[in-house]
Amino acid sequence: MYSRSFESSQNLHESQSVMATILQNLPKECSLTKIEYEGPRIALHTNKPQFLLENNKILSNIVGQIKKRIVLRIDESIRIDEGEVQKVAEKYVPQESNITDILFDPALGEATIFVKKISEIIKDEKIINNIILESGWKISFKKTPKNMVTIKNINKIIRNVSDYRIQFYKRIGEKIFREKLDPNIEANLNSLGGFAEIGRSSMILSTNESNVLLDCGMNLYTKDPLSKFPRFDSTGIKPSEIDAVLLTHAHFDHTGFLPMLFKYGYNGPVYCTEPTAYLMYILYREYIKHYGSEAHYTDTEFEKIFSHLISLNYNIVTDVAPDIKVTLYNAGHIIGSSSFHLHIGNGDHNFVYTGDIKFGKSSYLENAVWNFPRVETLLIEGTNGGREDSYMSREDAEEKLVELLNKVINNQKLVLMPAQLVGTSQELLITLDMLIKQKKIKKCKLYIEKLVTEINSIHEFNLEFLNRELQQSIISNDYNPFRSKNIASITDINTQKLDSGIIIYPSSTLNCSSSVDYLKRISNDPGNLIIFTSKPPGMTIGKEIIDGQRKISLNDEDLELKCAIETIYSFNSHSDFNQLNAYISRLRPKLRKIFVNHGERSKVQNFSGYSTKVHNISTQYLQNQEAIKLL
Ligand SMILES: [Zn+2]
């Protein structure tokens, strides 16, 4: 550990050279009032933003020189009152765009204007700039989603801690931009959870300067603490000694333990994409609702995460520690999901952690990114690492789906499709709505729960994370599957009258408390059909049914399934065996070593052996509580 005085004298040195470069490159007209650290960025505050808005090349030139992220901030002294912003915005926003809400983040001086129609605003940069200049708030526009509740709740949380956040960003910035203590570099990867298993993904990347935690999941399918939580005990690293937490995506097996990390002393930054943050909020809330007094944390405890959040966009290099830079790339798994490219030391080692990836066709996301600038070590997920996990092509799968659905829908019956709440639910909803639109299946109702509508809303206002085609079609108001007229709400599965249609049920395992009600509604009629689109893990009702069990016991009720059961796994949000191999083939020339995680032992074992042989790169699956030397 270093002493306080050493730290501040080194900081002075670092800040002097960076600040000198910035000042040399900024003409007087910029009218700077303050330069300070803001988390992983350097914030330039001005009371005359016009010059830099009109000459934005000046800032990109400086970024090119100092290789640090810069953000333009408008001095608080020229900001108008929040209540006045609406009037200013209405002067410049076309009436047909229809402003519905404006949310403020006073700590950063940012305002988000929600509009029903966004196409005209995107076309005209002047609209944003005029509002910025007249209001003194840094403006961005978002399309108003159907449900604003989560967005407003998170805004309320961060507003309540504005003063804390201003200090927090400074504290984190000073830590990140301090001088390195040791010119040499060593790096280890400690596996804490989700290795040779699925359910509690977590690992620590440790160097002689810093500890960065990658994912922080919890396994919901066991009560044993030794299998439920990441094994922090095996590293000797205390939560307070972790410098940064990076989250690949919102699924609970990658984020569920994070509130406990805060509970036990972590108070550093949490980096993830914006959709990940919003989805996490909903998933924590639902976890507490579901587990009640058995939940491991409360609302107030998980809300602490959001005052420590630093959202990142794809493809932007960000310093998260003095010797580690991260770039997030689209992973194609769910909205906002990322693969991490971690640049360790001064180009000494490049490590890619894929997170959960989909390297294949999706109805709403782009394919996972594979063209990283440099990669020596790859850690890839192996959920579908068994040879039996090769699924039919997406085209064939759609054909099979159409055939199965038409039989049932033409007979006025019901289809139940268990799906992950976040990911497969959206994939299916969009695919099914498209199939109806293309008249491949007869017009019918697509039933979803209110919770799925809420998750859909996070997609609707984070359009930049959807694939280009869908993004364009929603922006231009040509077609928005999240507002399709075919969608109908499930309000009460026990009593509600249902027309013939398809129920997208947001639990792929069928282990939820409401599963029994849905199964009761479907199972008695041989004309009805259940289609599984992913293989649920062991010890779940879904797995029992797929394995052929037709008499099941759920919530103390016995049920006989008389309906038809089918599986089509190609709509899965994970890559299948072939897609995992195709991904490695693309990366192959650059790789030295591959590790595999996130998959049952037999799958990661099989995949490691296959990859070593076929790709001719040493591939190894790790277990939990191992330490691997990267550098
Ligand atoms: Zn996932």
Between CA 534 and CA 378 the distance in angstroms is 25
Identify the pLDDT of residue 609: 98
Q: Which residue in 513, 514, 511 sits closest to 503, CA to CA?
A: 514
Q: Note the pLDDT of residue 2.
A: 34
Gap from CA of 368 to ligand 1 centroid (Å) = 13
CA 376 to ligand 1 centroid distance, Å = 24
Q: From the CA of 373, how far away is ligand 1's center (Å)?
A: 25
**Residue 518: which residues within 8 A CB-CB, separation 6 or more?**
416, 493, 503, 505, 510
Task: Please state, in angstroms and rounded to a whole number, the distance separating the CA atoms of residues 398 and 533.
Answer: 12
Q: How far is the CA of 439 from the centre of ligand 1 (A)?
A: 32
Per-residue pLDDT band for 526 (boundaries 50, 70, 90) equals: very high
Would you give the DSSP letter of residue 363?
S
pLDDT at 241 over 70: yes
403's enclosing H/E stretch is helix 394-410
Average pLDDT on 184-202 reads 96
Task: State the pLDDT at residue 536.
Answer: 82
Write down the pLDDT at residue 13: 60
Amino acid identity, position 537: P
Cα 253 to averaged position of ligand 1 atoms, centre (Å) = 7
Q: Is residue 12 predicted with pLDDT exceeding 90? A: no
CA 92 to centroid of ligand 1, rounded, Å: 41
Contact 346, 561 (CB under 8 A): no
For the chain, give the longest Cα–Cα distance. 78
Across 116-121, average pLDDT:
94
Q: What is the mean pLDDT of residues 478-486?
A: 95
Distance 434 CA to ligand 1 centre (A): 24
66-93 per-position pLDDT tens digit: 999 999 999 999 999 999 999 999 999 9
Q: In what order do the strands lie in the sheet with 69-74?
A: 32-38, 41-46, 69-74
Cα–ligand 1 centroid distance for 219 (angstroms): 12
pLDDT for 535 equals 83
Separation of 454 CA from ligand 1 center, angstroms? 18
Q: Residue 571 Cα, ligand 1 centroid: separation in angstroms? A: 14
- Among 259, 248, 312, 319, residue whose Cα is nearest residue 284: 259
DSSP per-residue letters across 500-533: SEEEEES-SS--STTHHHHHHHHHT-TT-EEEE-
Q: Is the pLDDT confidence value at 6 over 70?
A: no
627 with 237: CB under 8 angstroms?
A: no
Structure confidence at residue 260 as a pLDDT band (50, 70, 90): very high
Q: At what angle do helices 450-460 and 149-160 cross, to 10 degrees?
A: 70
Distance 283 CA to ligand 1 centre (A): 13
Does the pLDDT of residue 193 top 70, yes or no?
yes
Q: Could you tell me the pTM of the whole model? A: 0.95
Give CA separation, 180 vs 169, 185, 186, 237, 242, in Å: 20, 10, 13, 20, 17
| Predicted local confidence at residue 519, as pLDDT | 95
What pLDDT, in 10s, does the model give residues 421-462?
Answer: 999 999 999 999 999 999 999 999 999 999 999 999 999 999
How many angstroms separate the CA atoms of 47 and 70, rounded?
A: 17
Using pLDDT thresholds of 50, 70 and 90, give the confidence band for residue 1.
very low
pLDDT of residue 545 exceeding 70, the answer is yes
Average pLDDT, the chain: 94
What is the average per-residue pLDDT within 332-358?
Answer: 96
| 531-535 average pLDDT score | 90
Q: Give distance in angstroms: CA of 575 to centre of ligand 1.
A: 11
Q: How far is the CA of 251 from the centre of ligand 1 (A)?
A: 5
For range 25-30, the mean pLDDT: 90
Q: Classify residue 508 as exposed, middle or buried by CB count within 10 Å of its CB (0-12, 13-18, 19+).
A: buried
Distance 598 CA to ligand 1 centre (A): 10
Mean pLDDT of the region 497-505: 96
Mean pLDDT of all residues in 271-276? 98
Pairing of strands 501-505, 487-490: unpaired
Q: Compute, in angstroms, the gap from residue 77 CA to the centroid of ligand 1.
A: 44
